[in-house]
């Protein structure tokens, strides 16, 4: 009667624990919970309905020297090498999660010796056994020190009734996919940073050439003014002002050389090198007008970005984590067994009679440790919320970034055309001012002013060209450009 009572109490506890888990619900955070995407980006330059085609580094960037720099970066950049190791770690977690659903199998070799007390169950039992007439001499047990030898296999297997292991496997898989997207994101970031520095060098090279050419022009003008001073047609003030301008240009040349060295060192650091030469071309990144004329599916373009894809996979992983944490509240069914040779005597160890085996089965239900399980479940739910908000943030940022960059790249077409016209007009103005000065219809200040305006316009034009290349680099990243 007492046995039945205890069985009833135990069964009641298991049933009540299981029923109490019914109130613990897991809500999958889905991408469908987001607001509906706009039909198109805020791109006023779209002209036709040609479907958007994903871009790659090779069809977007036409500078072979830049592409070679990228290949060198991929092979030697230390940040990328670190992330490669993290991807391998994520792969190891995935493999372990897959194997967790299979039985474990261990090979055991055990040997022990025990001195049982005279007033213990084992001590009295061994003494009494040796006095029995039903055993032979080989079956008698040593009573001073009782040995025990075992060689065999031991196995255990958790039956995944509630999907705890299955969801752990899914979470590991999603995080492995997220790590791949993270690797793509880092590789894209490394390349875009390097490309930006590369085009800064192109811009500085052009500025250096402009300063050097203007210095030669200014120096010739200085020589003309000096000769005119000698014959009384110009003042010492004019000579000194031209000379001061020349000194300023020499300073700008030195400063530009310092800036070039600084950026070259930054690129060498990214390459993991102490020294070397950064070989570069003389041209900026060309515009991709065709991108502005394509019809883009907002959903597919945004989810093609590695940062959005990474946060999406992390969201799926936290959903699986929450389901796995909920399954921990339910009873766990564990099967096990062992098979091998077991004996208390070396002499009989390899006797067929020493073959022993055991089958086990158990149902374990958490009762008094639910404080820890509830904590894990609560944390998994909060991680779900964090992952969803992070995903939502990345999606919104991606849409606004792409919309702005498409509009900005389109606007820069007109800006560059206007700045090019400005440079041409100011070059003509310099020639006109020089002719007027020689004819006596203009003074030296007009020459100085026209040359200053032309120099500034040329420098500004280079800045706008670099800024346009910078915008195109950001657009490549924003559209999820493939690094292959």
DSSP of 89-120: HHHHHHHHHHHTTSPEEEEEEEEEEE---TTS
Continuous segment of H or E residues that includes residue 447: helix 444-478
In 376-450, which ranges are E strands?
Answer: none
DSSP string spanning 156-187?
EEEE-SSSHHHHHHHHHHHHHHHHHHHHHHHH
* Cα 27 from Cα 416, distance rounded (Å): 52
In 302-446, which ranges are E strands?
Answer: 332-343, 355-364
> Which domains does the chain carry?
24-101+173-186+268-330+370-478 (1.20.1600.10), 106-159+335-364 (2.20.200)
The reported pLDDT for the residue numbered 461 is 94
pLDDT digits (tens, 9 = 90+) for 170-191: 888 899 888 888 888 888 888 9
Continuous segment of H or E residues that includes residue 147: strand 146-159
* Cα 462 from Cα 203, distance rounded (Å): 6
Q: Confidence band (pLDDT; 50, 70, 90) for 450? A: confident
* Cα 318 from Cα 21, distance rounded (Å): 20
pLDDT digits (tens, 9 = 90+) for 217-260: 888 877 877 887 777 777 788 788 878 888 999 999 999 999 99
Continuous segment of H or E residues that includes residue 149: strand 146-159
Angle, CA of 3, 5 and 10, to the nearest 5°: 95
* Cα 275 from Cα 272, distance rounded (Å): 9
The reported pLDDT for the residue numbered 371 is 81
* Cα 148 from Cα 183, distance rounded (Å): 54
Continuous segment of H or E residues that includes residue 155: strand 146-159
The reported pLDDT for the residue numbered 46 is 46
pLDDT digits (tens, 9 = 90+) for 189-222: 889 999 999 999 999 999 999 999 888 888 887 7
Percentage of residues of the chain with pLDDT beyond 70 = 87
Continuous segment of H or E residues that includes residue 47: none
Residues 65, 113: contact at Cβ < 8 Å? no
The reported pLDDT for the residue numbered 413 is 87
* Cα 60 from Cα 69, distance rounded (Å): 15
Instruction: Give the pLDDT mean for 424-434.
Output: 83
Mean residue pLDDT of the chain comes to 83
The reported pLDDT for the residue numbered 273 is 86
Instruction: Give the pLDDT mean for 304-332.
Output: 90
pLDDT digits (tens, 9 = 90+) for 350-391: 888 889 999 988 888 887 776 888 888 889 899 999 999 999
Angle, CA of 441, 443 and 447, to the nearest 5°: 105
* Cα 104 from Cα 200, distance rounded (Å): 58
Q: Confidence band (pLDDT; 50, 70, 90) for 328? A: confident
Q: How far is CA 391 from the centre of its chain?
A: 14
pLDDT digits (tens, 9 = 90+) for 128-178: 778 777 788 778 888 788 899 999 999 998 888 888 888 888 888 899 888
Instruction: Read off the pTM.
Output: 0.76
């Amino acid at each position: 009667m007492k046995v039945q009572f205890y069985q009833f109490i135990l069964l009641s506890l298991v049933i009540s624990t299981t029923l109490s888990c019914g109130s613990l619900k897991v809500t999958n955070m889905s991408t469908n919970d987001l607001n509906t995407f706009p039909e198109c980006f805020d791109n006023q330059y779209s002209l036709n309905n040609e479907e958007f085609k994903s871009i790659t580094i090779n069809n977007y960037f036409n500078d072979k020297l830049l592409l070679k720099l990228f290949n060198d970066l991929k092979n030697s950049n230390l940040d990328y090498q670190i992330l490669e190791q993290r991807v391998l770690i994520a792969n190891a977690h995935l493999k372990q999660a897959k194997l967790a659903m299979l039985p474990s199998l261990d090979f055991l070799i055990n040997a022990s010796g025990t001195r049982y007390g005279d007033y213990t169950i084992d001590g009295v039992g061994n003494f009494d056994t040796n006095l029995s007439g039903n055993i032979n001499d080989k079956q008698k047990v040593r009573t001073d020190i009782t040995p025990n030898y075992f060689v065999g296999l031991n196995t255990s297997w958790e039956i995944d009734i509630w999907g705890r292991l299955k969801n752990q496997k899914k979470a590991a898989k999603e995080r492995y996919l997220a790590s791949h997207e993270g690797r793509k994101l880092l590789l894209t970031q490394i390349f875009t940073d390097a490309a930006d520095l590369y085009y800064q060098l192109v811009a500085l090279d052009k500025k250096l050439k402009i300063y050097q050419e203007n210095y030669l022009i200014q120096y010739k003008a200085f020589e003309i003014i000096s000769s005119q001073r000698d014959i009384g047609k110009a003042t010492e003030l004019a000579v000194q002002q031209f000379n001061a301008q020349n000194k300023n240009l020499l300073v700008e040349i030195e400063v530009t050389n310092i800036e070039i060295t600084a950026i070259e060192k930054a690129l060498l650091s990214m390459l993991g090198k102490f020294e070397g030469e950064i070989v570069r071309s003389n041209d900026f990144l060309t515009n991709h007008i065709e991108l502005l004329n394509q019809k883009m599916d907002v959903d597919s373009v945004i989810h093609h970005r590695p940062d959005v894809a990474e946060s999406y996979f992390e969201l799926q992983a936290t959903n699986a984590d929450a389901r796995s944490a909920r399954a921990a509240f339910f009873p766990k069914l564990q099967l096990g067994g062992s098979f091998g040779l077991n004996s208390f005597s070396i002499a009989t160890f390899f006797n067929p009679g020493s073959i022993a085996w055991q089958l086990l089965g158990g149902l374990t239900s958490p009762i008094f440790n639910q404080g820890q399980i509830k904590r894990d479940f609560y944390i998994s739910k909060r991680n779900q919320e964090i992952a969803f908000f992070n995903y939502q943030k990345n999606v919104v940022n991606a849409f606004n970034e792409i919309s702005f960059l498409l509009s900005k790249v389109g606007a820069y077409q007109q800006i560059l055309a206007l700045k090019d016209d400005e440079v041409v007009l100011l070059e003509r103005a310099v020639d006109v001012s020089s002719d007027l000065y020689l004819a006596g219809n203009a003074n030296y200040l007009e020459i100085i002013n026209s040359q200053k305006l032309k120099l500034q316009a040329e420098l500004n034009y280079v800045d706008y060209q670099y800024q346009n290349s910078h915008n195109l680099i950001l657009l490549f990243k924003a559209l999820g450009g493939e690094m292959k």
